[in-house]
Amino acid sequence: MKIIDHISNAKGKTLFSFELLPPIKGQSIKGIFDAIDPLMEFNPPFIDVTYLREDYIYKQHSNGLLEKVAYRKRPSTVATCAAIMNKYKVDAVPHLICGGFTKEETENALIDLQFLGIDNVLALRGDARKSDSMFIPTPNGHAYASDLVKHVSDMNKGKYLHDDMDSAEKTDFCIGVAGYPEKHFESPNLDTDFSYLKLKVDMGAEFIVTQMFFDNQKYKAFVEKCRAHGINVPIIPGLKPITNSKQLIGLPKIFHLDIPLDLTNAIQACSTEKQVKEVGIEWMINQCKELREMGAPVLHFYTMGNPEPTKRIAQAIF
């Protein structure tokens, strides 16, 4: 079922969902099921599976020479989605990225998804490879998420890349995109970022999932600004509790967000990592209670494969 239908069927009740990463190459799918099982009691109508682009690694040969090889650490987004749908009978939402795909490969991937019965995709540009200092589009691939959204929308209208196909079947994907309450880090300012978010919605995106945030006022302001810009699709807050003190530095560095002073002070006052985790979970429970009062359609958790903190939060909320 489409995410927008799950939301409208809920008639204003806040839903629970989460995101996880596909297994590292060489690991079994069991790890994914172990990360999902403890969260199923909260009835997630959908589960997101991220996509990791290939990166370059250096292999040393016996003669000392280094060979640069392309390597995908977590290769199985689509298969992980299929396994989740098969086992749990819930919708799985694959993240689809521009990086690493030609337009032709994107189109073929979407045909695979359609045949697997996947109804939703989260269309993203994708992160830069670790070995690159900035995002480099694949030759003949999409450069921005808005281009990818347009491609999926075109297929939803029966328009494929090669218009020599007569009577091509229309796909019927519900398309989600990313939004950044604290601005995407490459954008010169929030308003410019908003104009591109609006473009993604104008191209056919039907829901937005936000980057994580720790101050609900940022979400509130973001929703208000979206509405003022004519962006009227559901806006799903993306959430992640702080569980260790290193994240005070790591999360702002990686995700370009602010951690509120009160939360920072509370974490700095802890004398053990166990206490830090309790502070992080308590903060997130309070955030979730307020977000539900604000009418957030879904509380969507970035579990990173560790269900325990999310389970504790969900127990307090749902």
Interface with ligand FAD (CB under 6 A)? 50-51, 53, 95, 97, 124-127, 144-146, 178, 184, 186-187, 193, 196, 200, 209, 211, 238
CB atoms within 10 A of CB 213: 23
Instruction: Give the active site residue among 19, 107, 182, 206.
Output: 19
Q: Select 7 or 267, whichever has its Cβ closest to ligand FAD.
A: 7
- CA distances from residue 235 to 19, 176, 275 in whole angstroms, order as listed: 16, 10, 32
For residue 211, give both structure tokens.
């980057």
DSSP 128: P
CB contact set of 18 (below 8 Å; sequence gap of 6+): 39, 44, 47, 48, 300, 301, 302, 303, 310
3-state per-residue secondary structure call for 285-299: HHHHHHHHHCCCCEE
Q: Closest approach of Cβ 170 to ligand FAD, in Å? A: 24
Strand, helix or coil for residue 140: coil
Q: Rounded CA gap, 125 and 51, in Å?
A: 11
Q: Closest approach of Cβ 261 to ligand FAD, in Å? A: 24
Q: Closest approach of Cβ 311 to ligand FAD, in Å? A: 21
Q: Closest approach of Cβ 159 to ligand FAD, in Å? A: 20
Q: Select 124 or 279, whichever has its Cβ closest to ligand FAD.
A: 124
* Largest CA-CA distance found in the chain, in angstroms, rounded: 67
Q: Select 90 or 175, whichever has its Cβ closest to ligand FAD.
A: 175
Which spans in the chain are helix H?
A: 3-9, 30-36, 77-88, 103-115, 145-156, 190-202, 216-228, 247-255, 261-268, 273-293, 307-317
Q: Select 83 or 175, whichever has its Cβ closest to ligand FAD.
A: 175
Q: What Rg, from alpha-carbon coordinates, does the chain have? A: 20
Q: Closest approach of Cβ 96 to ligand FAD, in Å? A: 8
Closest alpha carbon to 46 in 316, 301, 305: 301
Q: Select 205 or 314, whichever has its Cβ closest to ligand FAD.
A: 205
Q: Is 19 in the active site?
A: yes
Q: Select 60 or 133, whichever has its Cβ closest to ligand FAD.
A: 133
- CA distances from residue 238 to 132, 150, 156 in whole angstroms, order as listed: 26, 24, 27
Q: Closest approach of Cβ 292 to ligand FAD, in Å? A: 19
Active-site residue set = 19
